[in-house]
Chain A
Amino acid sequence: MTIYAVGLDNDKTLLRFITTAMDAGADVSLVNLHAVAREGWRLMIPAAHGQSVVYGDGDSLTLDPAAGYYMRLVDLSPVLPEPASGAWRSMVTAFSAFLETVTGPVVNRPGSQAHNAAKPLHEWWLSQRGFQVPGALTSSDRTAIQAFLARHGQGIVKALSGMRGTAQIVTAESFDHFEPIQGPVHVQQYVSGYDVRVHAVGNDIHAEKIESDAVDYRDRGVASKHTATTIPDELAQRIVSASAEMGLAFTGWDFKVDAEGRFWCLEANPMPGYDVYDRRCGGNITRSIVEYLTP
């Protein structure tokens, strides 16, 4: 059974998926959005109600609605000039609708929950599903921010939206000159400990322990030690259930583990850039995705 890999041909995660899946014997076709955007295309909604065709560098590709789809849709419209910007937005809108209605398996199917892009809501949602989530405050009120930090000692300032920002450690004094016009900010209780990254594909769990002195081990130039690890069964089950409830077949979870061994959930990523983790675990994450997409 064919797997279509939909995304950008310069996306390291997509390329990692394609090469590792093909090494494992999967039949993978790249649907390169850069190439699709240059030529004619047609996508039917629902996908099974007609022929959907895209062109990639001159070759036509009729998309099988019963195939598996590994999707990394990227909206480049904000960085493109018109009319390319509008054309790209339309193409992404069309793919989102098409992939929601294909009859085969999709990683991840559009139409899933999107609250990772609204961190206060995301963290509250996770806490309601039994995850231990650090305390957090979102506000433009200096008094409220300083009172929260005085209670917790140290905090981490994070981006509220889904965009990745630089996490910083802050204290109440960090906000002595803060004005509401600079807000809102999202401050989360700082948890000291090591990191655990969990990738969940359906019921498969892949966990890695990361030890580092940095605030964010993913920052460039940070020294870190990575080892494969396991997580408690109850936590694994909670991750599988929450991912299914969000409508996500593939998720990347970030945890901090404190000195008492408690797992603090930081976030669940709906489109994990998992290539570096996959290299370290010998392609096991990709193999789980391939199994999910070729049942």
Chain B
Amino acid sequence: METPSEQILIVDEADDVFSTMFEDYARRHGVTCRRCRLDEVARWVTIEQEGCAVSVTPRTSLLLRPLRSVDAASDEVLRWTWGEWFATVWSAACITSTPVINRPGPWGWANRAPFSAALTEWRANSSVESAEAFWRDLAPPEAEAMLHQDLSNWLPLDDPPPGASVRSRALPKCRGWEQVIVLGNEAFRVTSADLGGWEVESESIGTAARLGLDFATISWGIPADGAKPVLARVSAFPSFYECIPVWNDVAAALLRRLAP
């Protein structure tokens, strides 16, 4: 069985632009990467446990990207097999002593970052500035003042139609948004807006850490009334487009961690 010889394995989907750009950046800096799908990696992996001792091969750095789970309409065997691949790679990436970004934890692939904005804030800060409603055909009070998202595709909705499953949240009127790419204890601001004395970098690093994320995009709303910025969104898998303004810094930092 072939064993990958590259320095970094990128576990991703074929259309992931971030992976394409990072592979190119790494190659220009003399580091070899191999992009691979979940099933390939699952078959390369061997995990052996005896008592408390465990070994994982291959001993290669891993960059984990978002994966599409198998189509719900596919047959039962394929769904079962995908689950076997996923369990193998999740286990290997959590246990291995080689560098992994983001290393999955006991909670899963994206650790403690959930689909609910309010729950993300709850886990990150133990408090919530603005409640979130999940609903279908039973709108929350003052729904007209809220932002709505269709839960089937995460697209914004102006006026949720009957039968749609929706999440809605009221956010304060914002004069702007701040986005920070966090990698471990480094933070890269995408804008340079004046936030007064509020430490957006350290707040973003702390938020990512509390969600178990090494690498994340942390987005903040900056209220127009001068109140404290509100956590608007956390992504456990920053996209290339989110990183563009600070791409060279982010890619260099990733390389330092994955190919030390």
Contacts and interface: CB of A to CB of B under 8 A. Distances in A.
B83 A46 contact: no
Interface in B84-123: 84-88, 90-92, 94-95, 106-108, 112, 114-116, 118-119, 122-123
A125 interface: yes
Interface in B1-51: 1, 42-51
A49 B168 CA distance: 13
Interface stretch (A34-42, A190-198, A281-289): A34-42
A28 interface: no
A127 B52 contact: yes
A49 B128 contact: yes
B131 A44 contact: yes
B123 to A, nearest CB: 8
Interface size class of B (residues with CB under 8 A): 35 or more
A259 interface: no
A50 interface: yes
Contacts of A89: 72, 151
Contacts of A161: 80, 83-84, 86-87
A180 interface: yes
Contacts of A263: none
Contacts of B107: 111, 113-114
A278 interface: no
A32 interface: no
**Secondary structure class of chain B's binding surface, majority of residues:** mixed
A26 interface: no
A78 interface: yes
Contact of B106 (A53, A91, A113): A113
Contact of A45 (B90, B116, B141): B116
A162 B83 CA distance: 8
B133 A124 contact: no
Most chain B CB atoms below 10 A, which of A42, A82, A96, A98: A42
Given A42-B134, A160-B87, A138 B106 contact: no
Given A120-B47, A159-B84, A78 B136 contact: no
B131 A50 contact: yes
B138 A53 contact: yes
A41 B133 CA distance: 10
Interface in B67-93: 72-73, 79-80, 83-88, 90-92
B48 A41 contact: no
Nearest to B112: A111
Nearest to B55: A137
Interface string A28-67: 0000000000011111111001100100000000000000
A184 B88 contact: yes
B10 to A, nearest CB: 20
B239 interface: no
Interface stretch (A140-148, A168-176, A199-207): A140-148
B132 interface: yes
A294 B71 CA distance: 41
Interface in A95-140: 96-98, 100-101, 111, 113-115, 117-121, 123-125, 127-128, 133, 135-140
Nearest to B139: A42
A205 to B, nearest CB: 23
B84 A184 contact: yes
Nearest to A189: B50
Given A120-B87, A120-B91, A40 B137 contact: yes
18 contacts: A40-B135, A42-B136, A45-B132, A80-B72, A83-B152, A86-B152, A90-B136, A97-B134, A98-B134, A111-B123, A117-B87, A120-B91, A121-B91, A128-B52, A138-B46, A138-B91, A160-B84, A183-B42
Interface of B: 1, 42-52, 54, 72-73, 79-80, 83-88, 90-92, 94-95, 106-108, 112, 114-116, 118-119, 122-123, 128, 131-141, 151-152, 163, 165, 167
Given A97-B132, A114-B107, 4 more contacts: A86-B165, A127-B51, A139-B45, A159-B80
